Copies of this chain bind each other. A is one copy, B any other.
Amino acid sequence: MAQDLVIGIDIGGQTTKCGVVDARGTVLAQTVIRSDTYNTVEPYIAELADALKRIISESKTEGAIRGIGVGAPNGNYYTGTIENAVNLSWGGTTTIPFAKLLSEAMDGIPVSLTNDANAAAMGEMTYGAARGMKNFIMITLGTGVGSGIVINGEMVYGHDGFAGELGHTCVIRHNGRTCNCGKTGCLETYCSATGVARTAREWLEMSDEPSLLRSLDKITSKDVYEAAKEGDKLALKIFNYTGTLLGEKFADFIEFSAPEAIVLFGGLARSKEFLTEPILKAMNDNVLPLWRGKVKLVYSQLKESDAAILGASALAWEL
C-alpha cells in the first residue's frame, strides 16, 4: 500500500486526540485517550501506541502511515523533546525524548513534534484558511494565547526551537495582570478566554454598571459572549477592550514580519462578531501607513472537532 496517510496527535493537559488523516485533510479514524492517567511517560506512550494501532486497524490503513505529527505543550521541533511541560501529569521538569519514544513504540514510523500553536498554524497552511500563504501569523485564543509564525512558507522555530510565544509579549507595561509564566502584563492575561473572564470580574467589581453578568456565580468567556449577544453593554465593552488590545499588538507583529494575514483560532475566536471590528480598528490605527488596510484578518477554516488532529498531522507530511 502506498504510504499516503499520516497520523496527527494533539496532546492536551486532560486528553489526547489522535486520528488517521489523508492528504485532503479527511480524518479517516480517530480516538481520544486521557493524558493525565500516569505520572511517568512510559505507560502513557504504551497506551497511546495501543490507541494508534487500534485506529490504524479500524481504518484498515496498516502500512500506509508515512509519519506521525504531534502537537504538545513545550514541544521542541528541533529535538523532538517535550521540555518542562508542567501542565502534563508526566511532563514534570525534565526533557522527555518524546518523538524517539513514540517512534520506537510504533515500529519505527517517524515522528515529528512541535507545540500546539505551531501545529495549528501548520494545519491552517496545509488544509485551512492559510492555504497558499507563505507569510502569516496564527494566533490561538484559547485558555492561553498561543502563536505560530510562518515566514517564507516555513514555520519559525528560532535558534532553540521555541519561537512564537506572542501570548507572552507585553500588552500592559505597568501594573499589568500576573501571568502563569511569572511575568506581568502578558497578552494572554487579557486576551485569552480566561483573560476575558478576568476582565469581566475586574470590571464588575470596579463599577456599579448593570449587567447580565452580575447574576452569575462564576463567569467564563462564553458567558460574556452570551451576554454580548443579548446586547449587554458591559459585555460588549469587554469585547471591544479585548479586540483593541489584540489589534494594538497585531500592529507590532505586522511591523516585525509583514504577514499577508493574521489567522485567528480557538474558543475565543468564535466571538468574531464582537472581536473583528475592534481588532481591525486598533490594528490599522497602530500600524505603519504602508500596511494600513492591507493585512487580512481571517478565521480558522478547520472543523473545530478535527482541527487539533489536522494541525498535528500536517507536521507529518514534511517527514
Cβ contact of A158, chosen from B156, B173, B182, B259, cutoff 8 A: B259
B258 touches A183 (CB 8 A): no
Residues of B within 8 A of A134 (CB): 159
- A297 near B: Cβ within 8 Å? no
Q: Given A158-B151, A248-B170: A164 and B256 within 8 A (CB)?
A: yes
Residues of B within 8 A of A158 (CB): 135, 151, 257-259
Q: How close is A75's CB to chain B, nearest CB, in angstroms? A: 13
Stretch at the interface among A51-59, A61-69, A193-201, A286-294: A286-294
A256 touches B258 (CB 8 A): no
Give the interface centre of A252, A253, A259 by most chain B CB atoms within 10 Å.
A252
- A251 near B: Cβ within 8 Å? yes
- A165 near B: Cβ within 8 Å? yes
- A310 near B: Cβ within 8 Å? no
Instruction: Please name the residue on chain B nearest to A136 by beta carbon.
Output: B159
Q: How close is A307's CB to chain B, nearest CB, in angstroms? A: 24
Q: How close is A309's CB to chain B, nearest CB, in angstroms? A: 26
B257 touches A149 (CB 8 A): yes
Interface residues of A in 178-216 (CB under 8 A from B): 181-183
Q: How many copies does the complex hold?
A: 2
Residue interface mask A149-173, B partner, CB < 8 A = 1 = 1011010111111111110111001
B252 touches A160 (CB 8 A): no
A288 touches B159 (CB 8 A): no
A173 touches B170 (CB 8 A): no
- A260 near B: Cβ within 8 Å? yes
Docked pose: A168 CA to B169 CA in angstroms: 16
Docked pose: A268 CA to B183 CA in angstroms: 29
Residues of B within 8 A of A253 (CB): 256
A152 touches B149 (CB 8 A): no
Docked pose: A71 CA to B259 CA in angstroms: 22
Cβ contact of A168, chosen from B160, B173, B288, cutoff 8 A: B288
A151 touches B162 (CB 8 A): no
Residues of B within 8 A of A162 (CB): 258, 290-291
With A159-B259, A170-B248 already in contact, 14 other A-B pairs whose C-beta atoms are closer than 8 Å = A84-B290, A135-B159, A151-B151, A152-B154, A156-B257, A162-B258, A163-B256, A164-B257, A165-B255, A165-B256, A165-B258, A168-B288, A170-B251, A170-B252
Which of A's residues lie within 8 Å of B, judged by CB? 84, 134-135, 149, 151-152, 154, 156-166, 168-170, 173, 181-183, 248, 251-253, 255-260, 286, 288-291, 294
